[in-house]
Amino acid sequence: MMSPDVVFLSLARDCAATIPSFLGLLAALRAEGLSVVAFIGENGSRDGTRELLQREAANGRIVLVPTPFMAEERDRLRRMALGRERLKNEFEAARLEPRFVGVLDIDNVIASPPSITALLAAAAKLERPGIFGVSATSRPHYYDLLAFQDDHRSFDTLLEELAGSRSNIFAYYRFFRSRIYPHQQALTDDREIECASTFNGLCLYRTDAYRLGSYLQPGPSICEHLVFNRRLAERTGARMLIDPGLILHTPVDHSQQSFLPFAWRRLRKLVALLLLQTHLSLKAPGSSTAR
């Protein structure tokens, strides 16, 4: 049974521009003498992501996990849950015993990866009693409300509230200004924040705790990290930390903005969503192009 220092698990779609940063992080860890295994699930990229990952897999630097089944699920949150569950299953089937497991996004959030010193310092906090996971923070502000929960705040209905404010761009922006931006700012701190669930683009887990989780649950779709972390908190009785020393750069699509840049970003997202839905429809079973 292989015992690497760290196993990374990530999904990748259309992120060829930032994969080199992730590969650089892996190379830097290996240069420090650490053993690293990375399982990467790819589905439907159109920017060269798959070809780039195939080359890395051929050289033994990553394990490429096919996830074409994700295209059959139209609900984004369920799609992500299915993909992350597949990565977890691949990790367990490999019978690895790493010091810790890292779950991360390798899109624009990893364009400026954390230092090796910061990453290992965060991993050391997993040895504290009562802690099963440590997530990154980000600057200029923490952004991932959907995955966050503590004793006073949870945002599992945030997407429903967002949907109710989409009647016009002005109402939508007011919702961000009044509901989202203040909470993001409140979670941006130079001290550790203890909570029941967090992700924010990069999260490290105790290996024994990670094995207890699942990203899948019946019922309404919510953030897969929230599902996973709630289960771990329930089964371990432990908590998570947002580490102020493990810093990522807030992705531009999650950054706080004034109205005009916000409206332009919203328009671009709508166009991208329409293109993605068209792509998924063409690949879905029963469509003429899927045969």
Same domain for 221 and 288, yes or no, is: no
Which has the closest alpha carbon to 108: 186, 19, 184? 19
Are the CB atoms for 204 and 133 separated by under 8 Å? yes
Residue 132: name the closest of 215, 203, 225, 188 by CA: 203
Same domain, 185 and 286: no
The pLDDT score that the predictor gives to residue 266 is 74
d(CA 103, CA 83): 12
Three-state SS sequence of 82-115: HHHHHHHHHHHHCCCCCCEEEEECCCHHHCCCCC
pLDDT at 286: 57
Q: b/e for 69-95, b at 16 or more Cβ within 10 A? A: ebbebeeebbbbbbbbbbbbeebeeee
pLDDT, position 188: 96
Neighbours of 273 (CB within 10 A): 11
pTM exceeds 0.85, yes or no: yes
Residue 228 is predicted with a pLDDT of 98
Give the chain's mean pLDDT: 91
In a domain? residue 1: no
Looking at this protein, which amino acid is placed at residue 115? S
The CATH number assigned to the domain holding 12 equals 3.90.550.10
pLDDT of residue 290: 39
The reported pLDDT for the residue numbered 264 is 76
Residue 41 β-bridge partners: 11, 65
Which residues pair with residue 242 across a beta bridge?
135, 193
Which residues of the chain register pLDDT less than 50? Answer: 287-291
Beta bridge partners of 8: 38, 102
Q: Which residues of 203-240 are buried (b: 16+ CB within 10 A; e: fewer)?
A: bbbbbebbeebebeeeeebbbbbbbbbbbbbeebebbb
Task: Give the pLDDT confidence of 210-248 residue by residue, as tens digits.
Answer: 999 999 999 889 999 999 999 999 999 999 999 999 999
- For residues 146 and 239, membership in a common domain is answered with yes
Q: Looking at the structure, do residues 192 and 275 belong to the same domain, yes or no?
A: no
Is the bond preceding 261 in cis, omega lying within 30 degrees of 0? no
CA–CA gap between residue 59 and residue 51 (Å, rounded): 13
Rounded Cα gap, residues 20 and 28, in angstroms = 12
For residues 161 and 76, state if they share a domain: yes
Q: What is d(CA 64, CA 57) in angstroms, rounded to the nearest whole number?
A: 6
Which structural domain range is residue 164 located in? 6-256
Residue 192 belongs to a domain: yes
Domain membership flag for residue 29? yes
Query: What pLDDT score does 288 carry?
Result: 44
Is the domain of 126 the same as that of 243? yes
Instruction: Report the pLDDT value the prediction gives residue 268, as an integer from 0 to 100.
Output: 74
Instruction: Report yes or no on 87 lying in a domain.
Output: yes
pLDDT for 289 equals 38
Number of domains in the chain: 2
252, 281: one domain: no
Residues 80 and 97 in one domain: yes
Residue 173 belongs to some domain of the structure:
yes
